Amino acid sequence: MVSMKDISIACGVSVATVSKALNDHGDIGKETKERIRRIAKEMGYLPNAMARALKTNRTYNIGVLFVDEAQSGLTHDYFSQVLDSFKRAVEAKGYDITFLNKGGAGGLSQMSYLEHCHYRGFDGVMIACVDFYDPQVLELVRSDIPVVTVDHLFDNRINITSDNVGGMERLVRYIYEKGHRRIAYIHGADSSVTQARLTSFYRTAELLGLKLPSEYVREAPYRDTGMAGQVTGELLELKKPPTCILYPDDFSCFGGITTIKSRGLRIPEDISIAGYDGIRIGRHIETPLTTLRQDTTSLGFQAAEKLVSLIEHPKTTLIEQVVIKGELYPGKTVGDI
Amino acid sequence: MVSMKDISIACGVSVATVSKALNDHGDIGKETKERIRRIAKEMGYLPNAMARALKTNRTYNIGVLFVDEAQSGLTHDYFSQVLDSFKRAVEAKGYDITFLNKGGAGGLSQMSYLEHCHYRGFDGVMIACVDFYDPQVLELVRSDIPVVTVDHLFDNRINITSDNVGGMERLVRYIYEKGHRRIAYIHGADSSVTQARLTSFYRTAELLGLKLPSEYVREAPYRDTGMAGQVTGELLELKKPPTCILYPDDFSCFGGITTIKSRGLRIPEDISIAGYDGIRIGRHIETPLTTLRQDTTSLGFQAAEKLVSLIEHPKTTLIEQVVIKGELYPGKTVGDI
DNA sequence: CTTCTTTTTGTAAGCGCTTCCATAATAAAT
DNA sequence: ATTTATTATGGAAGCGCTTACAAAAAGAAG
């Protein structure tokens, strides 16, 4: 690896001069600068990120916390898309991303998330898809490291959230306009997201004057086709079954579909269903899923923009909550009544 | 941040001694060591990864190259699972992973993959889901950085591959045993993986004495439901249509299913289909997909094991190709004839 | 031709850590 | 008591880089 020292020797100048030339400092002669830059390029010089970081305390590296209940945010449709978008956006700004974890890196036995951040010197952290009540997450959020969270709001922290309230309202209104009056909602496990959707569901139902028997609101874990299917079965057996069922997410819908078809019912002729998320596969099945597509691209992009801004201009960056609107996908699983 | 210097002062010893105590060197007094370690812990000491790396040339950080045609390996079922497994495995061994990319990090304008590796000082690199003919990828593979590749074999490099030959053979044999004699295969775009599967398909067909009209072997891009659906339509219109269609992957199957159902045909009564991969959703639809599940967990795990071994014991690590067997998922989309 | 500015280059310290080598302290052997 | 072997600790250099400050060179002004 060729270092600044090698270049300084090749150019007959001091290392300081090389550093200045390469970093475009003002106090350096024009032709000296160009000569140094040319020779550096010829010699295939590359800065050493570690040395630079050691001196400047800037790593141009962002930590990403990305663990879900099943310990795998990566295989989670929604979050992997957010991450993908986030990754592109920060890379365009010259940052790399590395995953945050608890297992001690570098031979250390164990580290908390915060310790991991300090150890690696992350310039900032993006947190998503996680148990936000984990003490270690709280510790991280309360630290002095720049943080943006996705889908969960903390005091005094930038947060990017999908518009669950608006999304749910639009979805329910759409179904209502299709003529449905008996709408059931199988919501996911408790979380900010679930609460937002559930509250919006109740409010919209109220607004529309729907009567909502308590049996119509059920819970099932996110992305659990088995439970979704089972609860679907129970809903279908009610004396007054719903005409439309909302699921925690698109994936869960497949559990519902299986149960529904196994009883010889047709979608949407006999019963309507709708998901939430807008995962890719939902658009590619025979009867495309009615759902609310969350704008994962914007979510990731905005998270990146805000985080980088917070890192580079801590003083002037507004601490705010950014809400990203979704889009209704009519699909074909909600029929007219 | 508390440094070794702080500890050395607090303990009244030299920095060298602190370093030795913390790194468990032999040449240090027992009680001194324990005292230093205790105080270090009390003071909340954390090593500084950059400083350490600068000195030792070891970052405990692994680069991951993970870009597909659509530029997003992350949202690719198969690869995100491999990555997830890889991530867990290397983390258990004290390594972090960060994504490799071309956009210059740290304010640099542009970098090749190899330059990126040098810049960040990755201890090793895992390459998957990528155009293996990209000159930059070749440059990286030919460099002196420890590399393992997934699903593509290079000379003198460790490679972990899914057993496409065996997998395809098992799949075809299964279908044959169900009584099918007219089997079509829509294969994916050209790549090592495609070649292995295609060759195995031909060979197995030969072995089983199947006649294979050339119209039965078609191409469609991976994970493209539209094209898969279209080709399916064309296959169904042949004078002698196949009784079973193999798809490039599970995702593509959904395109086929849509076309098949739109023509009023039933699966598997009228036509059978099979995918490849074993993605999660395939098991959760009404008629579970017959497919060959690739063992993404082992793939990722083995890639991690081998790479870390190569990093830590370069001399004694065997340069070999590791082939990971998949598993046949009978599902219900291939019927008896 | 001084003196004062302005511009350009160099010196040196230090970021936090590891490691070679020297020195000091202790124990063992003669 | 003296030499030798053993163990414990410290000094110092240096990894590659940035940056405050000093110094030198060049130009402007008196």
Interval B151-205: pLDDT, tens = 999 999 999 999 999 999 999 999 999 999 999 999 999 999 999 999 999 999 9
| Number of separate domains in chain B | 3
Query: How far is Cα B11 from Cα B30, in angstroms, rounded to an integer?
Result: 14
Task: Say yes or no: A189 and A264 in one domain.
Answer: yes
Task: Say yes or no: A158 and A302 in one domain.
Answer: yes
Q: Which residues, other chains included, contact A182 with Cβ-Cβ below 8 Å and sequence gap of 6+? A: A216, A240, A241, A242, A243, A244
Res B109 pLDDT > 80: no
Amino acid at B182: R
Residue of B52, B58, B59, B74 to mutate for A, most A C-beta atoms under 10 A:
B74
β partners of residue B265: none
Query: How far is Cα B94 from Cα B231, in angstroms, rounded to an integer?
Result: 47
H-run or E-run covering A185? strand A183-187
Query: Which residue in the set A92, A119, A257 is minimally distant from B103, CB to CB?
Result: A92
Res A278 pLDDT > 90: yes
Interchain proximity A60–B105, CB inside 8 Å: yes
Residue A138 contacts B, CB cutoff 8 Å:
no
Residue A56 included in any domain: no
Residue B118 three-state SS: helix
DSSP result, A201-215: HHHHHHHHT----GG
Interval B117-158: pLDDT, tens = 999 999 999 999 778 889 999 999 999 999 999 999 999 999
Query: How far is Cα A288 from Cα B224, in angstroms, rounded to an integer?
Result: 16
Residue A180 included in any domain: yes
Res A61 pLDDT > 70: yes
User: For chain B, how many residues are written?
Assistant: 337
Res A68 pLDDT > 80: no
Task: Say yes or no: B154 and B168 in one domain.
Answer: no
User: In the prediction, which pLDDT does A26 show?
Assistant: 80
Task: Say yes or no: B111 and B205 in one domain.
Answer: no
- Chain C bases closer than 7 A to any CB of the protein: 7-12, 14-20
Domain of B132 in residue numbering reads as 61-161+298-324
Residue A70, min C-alpha distance to chain B (Å) = 12
What's this model's pTM, rounded to 2 decimal places?
A: 0.94
Interval B31-89: pLDDT, tens = 889 999 999 999 999 999 999 999 999 999 999 998 766 656 788 889 999 999 999 99
Residue A54 included in any domain: no
* Under 8 Å between Cβ of B289 and B334: no
DSSP state, B248? S
Task: Say yes or no: A174 and A283 in one domain.
Answer: yes
Query: Is residue A27 very low, low, confident or very high in pLDDT (cuts 50, 70, 90)?
Result: confident
* Under 8 Å between Cβ of A94 and A59: no
Query: Which residue in the set B47, B98, B118 is minimally distant from A46, CB to CB?
Result: B118
* Under 8 Å between Cβ of A224 and A218: no
Query: Which residue in the set A51, A83, A97 is minimally distant from B98, CB to CB?
Result: A97
Nucleotide with smallest C1' distance to residue A23 CA: D18
* Under 8 Å between Cβ of A277 and A249: yes
- Chain D bases closer than 7 A to any CB of the protein: 7-20
Residue A334 included in any domain: no
CB atoms within 10 A of CB B265: 13
Spell out the long-range contacts of A69-76 with Cβ–Cβ below 8 A and sequence spacing 24 or more. Answer: A69/A131, A69/A189, A69/A221, A69/A222, A71/B88, A72/B84, A73/A128, A73/A129, A73/A130, A74/B74, A74/B80, A74/B81, A74/B83, A74/B84, A74/B87, A75/B77, A75/B80, A75/B81, A75/B84, A75/B280, A76/A129, A76/A223
Residue A210, min C-alpha distance to chain B (Å) = 32
Res B230 pLDDT > 80: yes
Could you tell me where the DSSP H helices lie in A121-249?
A: 135-142, 164-177, 192-208, 225-236
Measured in angstroms, what separates residue B83's CA from nucleotide C12's C1'? 47
Interface of A with B in 73-112 (CB under 8 A): 74-75, 77, 80-81, 83-84, 87-88, 91-92, 94-99, 101, 103-108, 111
* Under 8 Å between Cβ of A244 and A180: yes
Query: How far is Cα A7 from Cα A28, in angstroms, rounded to an integer?
Result: 16
Task: Say yes or no: B175 and B150 in one domain.
Answer: no
Interval A174-230: pLDDT, tens = 999 999 999 999 999 999 999 999 999 999 999 999 999 999 999 999 999 999 999
| CATH number of the domain bearing residue A127 | 3.40.50.2300
